[in-house]
Chains A and B, each alone.
Chain A
């Protein structure tokens, strides 16, 4: 009721002096940050390097920070109308000018914008839109913006629980959408490529979720198993001439074995220590691949990795005499798109197998033992659960899926080298799991789309890619420290829909 009372009493009178001081402080911090980084532009002539001042940009940044802070304070104090009244026209005007600029209309108006670089202006426009939406949202909810952390947390949890309930529908919907995507007119080469890439990471995310999300073992070297899978397939293909489908189980087996072997020495470690050692293992695998010239080809990698076949029919334009290809068999003309669509469906299938497997195993005794181990290892031991075997199965199964994904990566690229398996890959996969919410299948999908799909789409903004990546991480960590969808669904219920009759 306290919230309602405060809402009735109306907003507090504004203390303009305090607000101005706050805004001035922000502006000062921005000034300190920008004066060196933005204010001095280093110009490289052929013989001399000179520093050209760019004070205009600094001043613009300071003014924007000053005004932006005031808007934030107004939002905090519940003055949503003022914010809305100023932000909407401004955002709209900026948007139109930017749009006009990119279409080549009204170039004169560009001078009204604070920065010459359109990307920066787009970001500012985006911020204004966010402010306006925030104001609108709080007005509609008639809830004070400054909820306590617990209340916000509880609300987010309820949302996550609701999302999780709808997830039973969303999951299949996304699956159907993914299934239908190549058939829609939307599908071009770029979209299918991005879709394939995103699904590879979704598969890796689901695999790593077993280790990190369920068993609670922080693994920073996951990419090592991805590499083992890729190299197992590439080497088997190179030396024995085996195809993708024959090698897939072997690659999974090899990676799983590698997972168990690497798991052994780190059994006693937990948390940070485990993370550091697994990070080391990840680098070791990459260095071995890089230096074992005679087997792996070293930095030159392995090229000519065979493409997957459609039940033995290669998807190639030309086949040796006496063999049939996919195209000659079905009497259709060769298109390079067919191969892309085929790869898309292969990874969709592999990812769905991973999904079903991990969902299922979570509800089996071993899955519950993983979660119990994450919660309390000592209690597990006192209940007769073998912590060693339980941890090793988690490592092994997680690694196995990385191996499957790795051999898919190899067959898709046709070429692999140690460069593809650097630490940043592990970090990205871990970020997908963490941001998605430990143990949440759907969260991994969203996180992979945000972290892999969006940056691929906006490749033009490549300079800002890592910046946006970092911003997304920080934002999610502030608002949803436990991940986007961090609601744990019990593996079984006594008072589930089925057993309610017999329960009372």
Chain B
């Protein structure tokens, strides 16, 4: 766990203090024709902390992510990213600029690596914009400009440091598509970190992981929060992961925010239990409570 090499990245000029609002989502609404996928959701994700978005299937979690990362243009609402140097309005940005200029990185529910490129190349591609500048937008690089070669070496070092962190350094020259599933998940997180993000959005990072891999993921995310000092926003179904590492939890159901708070608050929130956790605990509940819950408005079959 060596310290990362210091790099001249303009994306992170200085850090916001822990817990200060990093991402502010205000009145976010997303309609697809008549279908309201997200209905007036507002929440705040703090700097240097982990915020989880949970909710049953179809609650609109991934839609929130897609709005944040520019894949959808929200119908209504404002998405503000607070940098120490000033605020950025995400909803007005073109998709790729959100990663390039605002520094919002994301992973995908169904992993999206570059399967036929090597593990190392995946991480180098993530440093594309930095390397493009260093290569003089290809012109200097074509002639083997020394500054570019140095930048490339630095990029490889940086990638290597991340490969060490996620335990993939040995397999750096493998094709990414040949990695086992859990390793692909870790690689995707490492790749997202290689763009030097201020906010890391993870879409179900623990899906398909075994308990040991899940535990490793927890420590990786905590390390990212504490060492890299960036904000993490994650969607997750695995309650073990969510309850253990989240500083704050936002609960969505049918596109609406039904609760928000610390893990303890959310765990004991009756609305949440009814809408979401209730399903899991139903077997252990006494008969009359189960019947009461069954009559509730939020119950699902």
Contacts and interface: CB of A to CB of B under 8 A. Distances in A.
Nearest to B70: A381
Contacts of A490: 117-118, 120-121, 173
A372 B156 CA distance: 17
A376 B116 contact: no
Given A372-B117, A490-B117, A383 B125 contact: yes
A362 to B, nearest CB: 11
Contact of A366 (B118, B132, B192): B132
Nearest to A377: B112
Interface in B203-231: none
B131 interface: yes
Interface stretch (B43-51, B97-105, B248-256): B97-105
Interface stretch (B30-38, B73-81, B135-143, B276-284): B135-143
A154 to B, nearest CB: 12
A372 B195 contact: no
Interface stretch (A74-82, A91-99, A492-500): A492-500
A270 to B, nearest CB: 15
A365 B135 contact: yes
Given A366-B138, A368-B124, A379 B96 contact: no
Contact of B116 (A375, A382, A385): A375
A369 interface: yes
Contacts, number: 116
Given A378-B112, A383-B195, A387-B96, A365 B141 contact: yes
A283 interface: no
Contact of B113 (A379, A381, A492): A379
A371 B98 CA distance: 22
What range describes how many residues of B lie at the interface? 35 or more
A384 interface: yes
Given A365-B138, A376-B114, A379-B112, A384 B169 contact: no
Contacts of A492: 120-121, 124, 152, 156
A369 B132 CA distance: 10
Interface in A354-401: 357, 360-361, 364-366, 368-369, 371-372, 375-376, 378-387, 393
Nearest to B97: A384
Q: Which of A375, A491, A493: most chain B CB closer than 10 A? A: A375
What range describes how many residues of A lie at the interface? 20 to 34
A165 interface: no
A368 B116 contact: no
A155 interface: no
A152 interface: no
A375 B118 CA distance: 12
Contacts of B131: 365
Contacts of B64: none
18 contacts: A360-B142, A361-B138, A361-B142, A365-B128, A366-B135, A368-B124, A368-B125, A369-B132, A375-B114, A376-B114, A378-B71, A378-B112, A381-B95, A381-B99, A382-B112, A383-B191, A490-B120, A493-B173
Given A371-B117, A382-B69, A490-B173, 18 more contacts: A365-B128, A365-B132, A368-B121, A372-B117, A376-B114, A379-B108, A379-B113, A380-B96, A381-B71, A381-B95, A381-B99, A382-B105, A385-B125, A386-B96, A387-B96, A492-B124, A494-B172, A495-B172
